[in-house]
């Protein structure tokens, strides 16, 4: 296992001296109106787990609230939607019988099927419900989320049984077009593969003591810690890759296949709280990744990232720029500690 040069990294030590590493850069310019010298600061932060860096810039309205008529757009594109009740049976691919004899997996209203456009050996899509072509974030209930998560868990378990080489499972979401979704109808996506993604690999290489130190330091600092819902801890990212980024950590399990129904419901509860907060902040598009490692990976807490994306509107600005895409550097104008204040005490009640 590589530690990639962490100064305080020593596997023989029981704990880490956890630091929230940051440095502030100052930029100068002459104001075009007053001609006076103006200074601005850029808060560069290093993620305590993977070491990537992120730039927090002055808030300047880069993520405006949604003013798009999503309901009208939903009515316009619904007649062609393959995930709606009239077409889901005939237009979505079934899972191979080697993975699941029924070809589809249902739980409550959620239905899971094979992804028409595969991104891994085992790619699947699961809708919250065929009837919910339009599902604004304020209407994302714990039940809808739990049932959809449980179809994903069942799929990952079925793949593990059918293909023992595939041990890396993740549950993901592109919600609304700005997040990368090619279809309007809300859904989750699962990837189960023999190969981890870059971040699955990087996170799986983080020593257990570093995860523990990070959570302990965030609990103690309190500036970004949101609370726990029982077995799952939630916080705002210190060095976000994307806007309004939240993280959750589930100790004791390392893969989505180890989520039992009770824990899936608890995770859904936290997600419903988080998405409700996003709705209050005016967001309607998000990405989600639940980064699974192989089951039983000692000390690895199954963890997720949830991030808001730009809102849909004509000529909208993408929140993903050359920094995120080509430098792997987050750049946001939403200060993590301000996001913590706006989410408030909902995870502590």
Chain residues in the site for Zn ion (CB under 5 A): 81, 83-84, 133, 185
- Measured from the CB atom, the residue of 133 and 155 that comes closer to Zn ion is 133
Contact (Cβ atoms closer than 8 angstroms) between residue 336 and residue 308: no
Residue located via tokens 């050359």: 322
**Least distance (Å) between residue 186 CB and Zn ion:** 9
Nearest-approach distance from CB 26 to Zn ion, in angstroms: 49
228 alpha-carbon distance from chain centroid = 17
Q: In terms of CB distance, is 83 or 249 closer to Zn ion?
A: 83
How far is Cα 21 from Cα 6, in angstroms, rounded to an integer?
Answer: 12
Shorter beta-carbon distance to Zn ion: residue 81 or 246: 81
Query: Given the complex with Zn ion, which of 74 and 199 has the nearer CB atom?
Result: 74
Nearest to 168 by CA among 198, 147, 188, 145: 198
Q: Which two tokens stand for residue 197?
A: 């993604």
What are the helix and strand counts (H, E) for the chain?
Answer: 8, 14
Token pair of 121 as six digits: 């050996």
CA distances from 51 to 195, 239, 324 (A): 22, 9, 15
Q: How far is the CB of 284 from Zn ion (least distance, A)?
A: 16
Structural contact between residues 227 and 234, judged by C-beta atoms closer than 8 angstroms: yes
Taking the complex as a whole, the smallest distance from the CB of residue 78 to Zn ion amounts, in Å, to 6
**Nearest Cα to 122, choosing from 156, 78, 151, 173?**
156
- Report which of 333, 312, 337 is spatially closest to residue 323, judged by C-alpha positions: 333
Angle at 88 between CA 87 and CA 93, to 5 degrees: 120
Q: Three-class SS of residue 112?
A: strand
Q: How far is the CB of 4 from Zn ion (least distance, A)?
A: 44
Nearest residue to 128 (alpha-carbon basis) of 103, 142, 110, 141: 110
- Kindly tell me which of 181 and 303 has the beta carbon lying closer to Zn ion: 181
Question: With respect to Zn ion, which residue has the nearer C-beta, 88 or 221?
Answer: 88
Shortest distance, position 83 Cβ to Zn ion, whole Å: 4
Give the shortest CB-176-to-Zn ion separation in angstroms.
13
Pick the closer one to Zn ion by CB: 132 or 331: 132
Shortest distance (Å) from residue 128 CB to Zn ion: 11
Closer to Zn ion at the Cβ: 45 or 133? 133
Q: Which residue is nearest to Zn ion (CB)?
A: 81
């Amino acid at each position: 296992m590589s530690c990639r040069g962490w100064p305080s990294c020593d596997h023989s030590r029981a704990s880490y001296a956890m630091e929230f590493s940051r440095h502030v850069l100052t930029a100068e310019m002459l104001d075009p109106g007053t001609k006076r010298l103006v200074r601005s600061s850029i808060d560069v932060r290093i993620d305590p787990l993977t070491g990537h860096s992120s730039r927090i810039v002055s808030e300047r309205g880069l993520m405006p609230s949604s003013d798009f008529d999503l309901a009208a757009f939903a009515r316009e594109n619904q007649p062609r939607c393959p995930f709606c009740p009239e077409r889901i049976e005939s237009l979505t691919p079934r899972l191979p019988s080697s993975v699941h004899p029924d070809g589809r997996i249902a739980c409550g209203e959620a239905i899971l099927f094979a992804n028409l456009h595969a991104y891994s050996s085992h790619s699947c899509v699961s809708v919250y419900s065929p009837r919910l072509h339009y599902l604004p974030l304020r209407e994302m209930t714990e039940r809808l989320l739990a049932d959809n998560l449980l179809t994903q868990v069942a799929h990952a378990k079925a793949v593990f049984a059918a293909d023992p080489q595939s041990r890396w499972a993740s549950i993901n979401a592109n919600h609304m077009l700005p997040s990368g979704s090619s279809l309007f109808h809300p859904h989750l996506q699962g990837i189960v593969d023999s190969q981890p993604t870059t971040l699955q690999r990087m996170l799986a290489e983080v020593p257990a003591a570093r995860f523990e130190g990070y959570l302990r330091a965030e609990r103690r600092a309190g500036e970004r810690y949101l609370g726990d819902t029982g077995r799952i801890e939630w916080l705002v990212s210190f060095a976000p890759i994307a806007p309004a980024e939240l993280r959750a950590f589930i100790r004791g399990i390392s893969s989505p296949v180890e989520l039992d129904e009770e824990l899936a419901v608890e995770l859904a509860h936290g997600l419903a709280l988080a998405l409700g907060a996003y709705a209050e902040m005016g967001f309607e598009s998000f990405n989600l990744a639940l980064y699974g490692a192989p089951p039983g990976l000692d000390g690895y807490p199954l963890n997720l990232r949830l991030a808001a994306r730009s809102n849909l509107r004509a000529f909208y600005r993408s929140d993903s720029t050359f920094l995120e895409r080509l430098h792997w550097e987050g750049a946001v104008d939403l200060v993590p500690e301000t996001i913590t204040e706006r989410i408030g005490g909902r995870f502590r009640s």
